[in-house]
Structure 1
Amino acid sequence: MTAVNNISSKLPKHETSIFSVMSKMAYEHNAVNLSQGYPNFETDIKLKELVYKAMLEGYNQYAPLAGIAPLREQIVDKIESLHGKRYDKNTEVTVTNGATQALFLAITAFVKPGDEVIVLKPAYDSYEPAIELAGGKPVLLQLEGKDYKMNFEAIKEKISPKTRMLIINTPHNPSGNVFSKEEMQQLEALLEGTDIILLSDEVYEHIIFDEVKHYSASAFPELSKRAIVCASFGKTFHNTGWKMGYCVAPEELIAEIWKVMEVNVFCVHHPTQRAFAEYLKNPNHYLELGKFYQEKRDKFLHLIKDTAFKAEPSKGTYFQLLNYSEITNEPDLDFSRRLITEYGIASIPVSAFNKDNKDHRQLRFCFAKTDETLEKAAAILKKVK
């Protein structure tokens, strides 16, 4: 018997994430792991040296709640240069412990018991639990087709007097889609005149291909008035374990986020903030990222071109969907497990992200890997018939 009785879970339906499940299987079967979304190569040595330098210089105590001023300055400069929106560095930006915390802070700050939050599926698996912990109700809407397009009439039908927030993700995980300028303008028009907050998850903002442009919610005047835009340094600079991100929003929204931040972790790792403040002074560190990852994507697609898998090239993120419908009719969860146990390669079944586990016979593969890893993966996939 436990010492505490009558424990009632606040997340009774929460299960172990598909990422943990597939990575555990990959480890147990010594499989090539293209399931979890992190690079298996190192971050820039210059950036690591900057962190160490900041430690040696004594930046080892609490940083300001919102983040250090030099880093906030670099963030607002970057957004202005890319999207034409100038945020106030003192009142409209917050450095966070990764983008997941930024998302959690935004949801916690504004979603109250009984509020509804529209979530476009497939979606990152932290959104819904965060909404439920705040007492809100996730209202799920599946993006349409195998290319995952927004249906604005369907979104409009989901909006009710209880709608507090709408969450979008572009560039989109897991599909690799990137919302167009026209789609963002339609979203702007749809939300005009409402009190709905837009939570825009843009962690792959710099990983875009084939001259496709990322249109941030920051770039649209009416959207930016209601948008909390979340981003990730970890995704951008190959150091997801550092857990560094940020969010920007109008002053009245950031003020509420600060209230939650203060009683949550208060601030973010100080030496790393100093390092990023210096590193961001060279825009090429993020502007050249798309080219770097496009070479990875193209190499992966070239390596698997003679396999039985079919692919539409990803437009952004470091994920590639592969359709296996010409191989088997197995559900994607079963097939992904079999790929690990019989062939030795790990992926993510896309149905895990979808509403009602809708199954398009697609698997998600992460190509943020060394060339050697991609070559090993492709050699395995060629054997799958």
Structure 2
Amino acid sequence: MNKPIELSVRLNRIKPSASVAAKALVDRLRAEGQDIIDFTIGEPDLPTPPNVVEAAVTAMREGQTRYTAANGTPALRKTIVEKLARDNGLHYKSENIVVGSGGKNIIFLALSVTLNPGDEVIIPAPYWVSYPDMVVVNDGVPVIVSSAASSGFKLSPEQLEAAITPKTKWLILNTPNNPTGAVYSRSELVELGKVLERHPNVWVMSDEIYEHFVYNGATHASPVAVIPSLQERALIVNGASKGYSMTGWRIGYGAGPVRLANAITTLITQTTTCPSAISQAGAVEAFGGSQDAPLRAGKVFEQRGKLMRELLSGIPGFDVGELTGAFYLYPSVAGLIGKTTPAGEVLSSDLDVVRYLIEEAKVATLDGSAYGVSPHLRFSFATSEKSIREGCDRISRACASLR
């Protein structure tokens, strides 16, 4: 009998992405014939803009189907430079830009080329599920700094100062935030910047993938635009997935110092070789063409978010914060903890609530423990108003059955 292959011990340090696992569960239950309403996946349900699709089709017909430069085509990197100046007030050159197979790819590679064993990465919680695991698999140490709903789920200058040590390599900021939707104001970024200016050893990774989705008077500001002194030790991460409904196209980019961009490019040459040529042609049109699509998407998601917030706020046991950004709500379900289901089971955690809702209401959500702060649930409203109404009605009925 052949001995089974031994996997790397590195794999034992991480767990599968909670959001990807949730999508797999929804897909399996639907394949079994169950009528599941899915509030888990952070993926716009809107189509990719037609002008972007046409640009990709034209590129294929013209034979743009071969390898490109590892860090992206000159045309796309130039377009990204122009986009950063137009939308964010940031000034880079093409050599500062590296294009990857999605923003997640850029984040992982940036950590890979900078972290040495024991280096610390400050991650404000609630956080996107992949940050801590990507730090750990690259031999770093995640330093989780939790914030509460009372602070808008935002890192304070005092918390940042207390978390920094001689081993700190990165601070990861995500604004607008997944999972909470929190948006840092310019004044809040200024105060964080004052702390960072006292600690020149700390780099900043600014994940701005949800920049197009801000609501109720909030505005997106890039930390580097607010604190220009950070530009030489910051990496801006963004991409086409969310704002342009291009999740499957897998195009993300980083903007940072040339040495960092070159290091990431070196890893790309030994891993993915280059981003998809066809997707890059589409991204040139996405970033450089008409910007009507992300503007329309932002208005659509704002209306859906307001609807979901109103409906969830009417359910006893839910405490829903303000709608500010991204396409997520992160309500507290502390009011449901301790209640008993019709089957006689006590809900002792937000994960129990998630299980109850998918079993009883056929509604899929994600537990706050996956994002570092409980007891909360993450709801994505990147879905239709019909699904939002039906799903919230099912949740209401399921919660009414608790005692």
- Alignment TM-score, normalising by the size of structure 1: 0.92
Q: Does 1:264 align with 2:271?
A: yes
**What does residue 357 of structure 2 align with?**
339
* Offset at residue 200 of structure 1 (A): 1.1
CA contact (8 A) 2:98 2:254 kept: yes
Counterpart contact for 2:309–2:323, Cα < 8 Å:
no
Structure 1 residue ranges without an equivalent (≥5): none
Of 202, 208, 216, 2:214 maps to 208
Query: Cα offset for 1:106?
Result: 0.8
Alignment deviations for residues 25-57 of structure 1 (CA, whole Å, 9 cap, x no partner):
434253211112112343223322221221111
> What is the CA-CA distance between 1:62 and the residue it aligns to?
0.7
Equivalent residue runs for 1:241-280 within 5 Å: 241-279=248-286, 280=288
Q: CA deviation at 1:229?
A: 0.7
> Scaled by the length of structure 2, what TM-score is found?
0.88
- Measured after TM superposition, the shift of residue 305 of structure 1 is 5.0
Number of residue equivalences: 380
Aligned in 2, Cα 1:105/1:7: closer, same or farther, shift over 3 Å? closer
The AA in structure 1 aligned to 2:138 is: A
The answer to whether residue 235 in structure 2 is matched with residue 228 in structure 1 is: yes
SS class of match (2:238):
strand
Cα deviation code 1:100-159 (max 9, x no counterpart): 001011101111122111121221222222222222222221124453121322221221
Which residue of the partner structure matches residue 47 of structure 2? 42
Could you tell me whether the CA contact under 8 Å between 1:125 and 1:353 is conserved in 2?
yes
1:197 aligns with 2:211: no
Cα deviations by residue, 1:199-252 (Å, 9 ceiling, x for unpaired) = 111111111111211111231201222110101201111121221111101223
1:285 aligns with 2:293: yes
Shift of 1:301: 2.8
1:8: Cα distance to partner? Answer: 4.2
The amino acid across from 1:237 in the alignment is Y
Match for residue 135 of structure 1? 139
Moved more, 37-46 or 74-83: 37-46
User: What CA distance in whole angstroms lies between the structure 2 residues aligned with 1:40 and 1:223?
Assistant: 35
1:315 equivalent to 2:324? Answer yes
1:300, distance to aligned residue in structure 2 (A): 2.4
Greater shift, 310-319 or 282-291, is seen at 282-291
User: C-alpha distance in 2, partners of 1:78/1:288?
Assistant: 18
For the pair 1:371 / 2:385, whether they are aligned, the reply is yes
Assess if the C-alpha contact under 8 Å between 1:83 and 1:218 holds in 2. Answer: no
Taking the aligned partners of 1:165 and 1:375, their CA distance within structure 2 comes to 41
Amino acid in structure 2 at the alignment position of 1:162: K
Larger RCO of the pair (alpha carbons < 8 Å, separation 6+): 1
Moved more, 38-47 or 309-318: 38-47
Aligned-pair CA distance for 1:69:
1.9
Q: Distance in 2 between matches of 1:110 and 1:123?
A: 21
After superposition, the C-alpha distances for 1:74-124 in whole angstroms (9 at most, x for unaligned) are 2121211222221102x1111111110010111011111221111212212
Counterparts of 1:203 and 1:51, CA distance in 2: 22
Cα distance in structure 2, aligned partners of 1:4 and 1:345: 38
Question: Is 1:325 aligned with 2:334?
Answer: yes
Cross-structure match for 1:60? 65
Change in Cα spacing, 1:85 to 1:16, as seen in structure 2 (3 Å) is closer
Superposition deviation, residue 4 in structure 1: 5.7
Matches of 2:129 and 2:387 in 1, distance apart? 26
Report the Cα distance in structure 2 between the residues aligned to 1:235 and 1:143, rounded to whole angstroms: 25
Conserved? CA contact 1:11–1:132, under 8 Å: no
User: Which residue type is aligned with residue 245 of structure 1?
Assistant: G
Give the SS at the match of 2:218. coil
Q: Is the 8 A contact 1:11 1:129 kept in 2?
A: no
Of 83, 86, 89, 2:91 maps to: 86
Q: Supply the distance in 1 between the matched residues of 2:25 and 2:63 (Cα, whole angstroms).
A: 43
Question: Take 1:54 and 1:68, find their aligned partners in 2: how far apart are those partners?
Answer: 13
| Structure-2 change in CA distance of 1:213 and 1:41 (3 Å) | closer
Cα distance between partner residues in 1 of 2:326 and 2:37: 20
